[in-house]
């Protein structure tokens, strides 16, 4: 991915204030609890700096990119785990390791937008060395995906607000203990399934349980085959992406799920290979996220852009004829020493009426758009 383009995307996010975003604060706190570390942050990586956006337990300022662990995560766009920084020749002389605050453990996952731009990381750190489990690593991935989704939603809302203001400056518009780890994991809002190599459901969270119960009126249990909970028209698509994940490919699709009388819902479906500590693929991580709100925002932006285009068309073309007529008639009246004939006045009235009609059309377009917003 072109670095200059990536930096442009980072700047879009950099101008937003994520510091007090409640959802991101919860995600950062959740990550720290999962890994039982005192430090967790969401960062952006620009051309020269690591920029801390959301922070828990970290009193470090923004640091140079060259001294940042997160820079390596962004470069390779994959999970980075350093169990003991003093034993890693890449980082043992790093100022944040050799000096204050003395970081010994680091785990970071890239924040990758829907367009494929890696803008930063969700990471956890500790001043003592640690080991991680596969389940902790999976949770970190899911949390990072939730984080970038919340950041993109905020960016979309910001763009929508700016588009609306162009119309009439109007309305402004997201534990080491298995028991504790599961309890925290269950609080994730998305439906998460861990699937075996034969499509069987090995594990799932409460979000997945409620998703199946509400949409298919079935109580989910381990060992069931995932395809049995899929609509007929989606099964072949699911099988294609599931097989890709089993072959090591990470994929994502957005689909409009039809639930008959219950209506339709836009879903973001993500497939990722799950590997054991030896790197062997043992199954597939299947994540389902409701993205109706984001789709609605995108639709509003498109509708408002269409309104802006129509107004610009009226202003550049359809105003021109009546205005030119009025100016021409006024020139004739002026040449006649401001003594206007009845024909001139009638033509002036006709041109003024045409201009008034176009003005009312613009006002009507703006009013309709306000009601839709």
In this predicted model, what pLDDT tens digit does every residue of 176-201 receive, in sequence order?
A: 446 655 555 566 778 899 999 999 99
**Among 3.40.640.10, 3.30.450.20, 3.40.225.10, 2.130.10.10, what is the CATH number of 189-295?**
3.30.450.20
> 363: which residues sit within 8 A by CB, 6+ positions away?
none
At residue 312 the predicted structure's pLDDT band, cuts being 50, 70 and 90, is: low
pLDDT at 104: 94
The tally of CA atoms less than 13 A away on the side-chain side of residue 112 is 18
Question: Distance between CA atoms of 116 and 130, rounded to whole angstroms?
Answer: 31
Burial class (CB in 10 A: 0-12, 13-18, 19+), 185: buried
Residue 263 belongs to what H/E stretch?
Answer: none
Q: What is the mean pLDDT of the chain?
A: 82
Averaged over 250-263, what is the pLDDT? 84
- List pLDDT tens digits, range 23-49: 899 999 999 999 999 999 999 998 888
pLDDT of residue 271: 95
pTM metric for this prediction = 0.45
User: Looking at domain 3-130, which of 2.30.110.10, 3.20.190.10, 3.30.450.40, 3.40.640.10 is its CATH number?
Assistant: 3.30.450.40
pLDDT, tens digit, 9 for 90 and up, residues 162-180 = 766 665 554 444 344 466 5
pLDDT for the residue numbered 177: 46
Q: At what angle do helices 3-14 and 134-168 cross, to 10 degrees?
A: 70
Which residue did the predictor score with more confidence, 261 or 140?
140
C-alpha span between 32 and 38 (Å, rounded): 6
pLDDT: is 196 or 348 the higher one? 196
Question: What does the pLDDT average to over 231-254?
Answer: 92
Average pLDDT on 272-281 reads: 91
Distance CA 355, CA 348 (A): 11
User: Measured between alpha carbons, how far is 296 from 304 in angstroms, rounded to an integer?
Assistant: 12
Instruction: Characterize the bridge pairing of strands 281-290 and 191-195.
Output: antiparallel
């Amino acid at each position: 991915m072109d670095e200059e383009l990536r930096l442009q995307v980072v700047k879009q996010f950099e101008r937003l204030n994520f510091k007090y975003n409640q959802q991101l604060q919860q995600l950062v706190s959740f990550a720290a609890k999962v890994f039982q570390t005192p430090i967790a942050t969401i960062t952006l990586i620009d051309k020269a700096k690591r920029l801390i956006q959301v922070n828990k337990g970290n009193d470090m300022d923004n640091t140079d990119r060259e001294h940042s662990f997160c820079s390596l995560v962004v470069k390779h766009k994959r999970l980075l785990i350093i169990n003991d920084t003093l034993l890693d020749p890449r980082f043992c002389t790093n100022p944040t390791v050799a000096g204050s605050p003395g970081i010994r453990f680091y785990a970071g996952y890239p924040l990758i937008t829907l367009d494929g731009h890696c803008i930063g990381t969700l990471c956890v750190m500790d001043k003592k060395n640690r080991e991680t489990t596969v389940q902790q690593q999976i949770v970190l991935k899911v949390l990072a995906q939730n984080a970038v989704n919340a950041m993109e939603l905020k960016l979309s809302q910001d763009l929508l607000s700016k588009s609306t203001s162009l119309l009439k400056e109007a309305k402004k518009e997201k534990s080491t203990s298995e028991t504790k780890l599961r309890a925290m994991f269950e609080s994730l809002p998305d439906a998460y399934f861990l699937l075996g190599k034969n499509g069987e459901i090995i594990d799932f969270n409460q979000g997945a349980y409620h998703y199946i119960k509400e949409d298919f009126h079935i109580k989910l249990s381990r060992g069931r085959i995932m395809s049995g909970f899929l609509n007929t028209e989606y099964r072949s698509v699911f099988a294609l992406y599931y097989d890709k994940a089993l072959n090591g490919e990470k994929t994502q699709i957005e689909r409009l799920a039809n639930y008959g009388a219950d209506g339709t819902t836009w879903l973001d479906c993500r497939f990722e290979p799950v590997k054991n500590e030896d790197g062997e693929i043992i199954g597939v991580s299947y994540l389902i996220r409701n993205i109706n709100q984001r789709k609605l925002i995108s639709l509003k932006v498109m509708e408002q852009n269409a309104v802006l285009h129509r107004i610009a068309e009226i202003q550049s073309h359809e105003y021109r004829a009546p205005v030119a007529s009025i100016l021409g008639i006024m020139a004739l009246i002026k040449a006649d020493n401001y003594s206007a004939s009845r024909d001139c006045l009638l033509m002036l009235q006709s041109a003024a009426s045409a201009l008034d009609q176009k003005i009312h059309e613009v006002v009507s377009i703006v009013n309709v758009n306000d009601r839709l917003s």
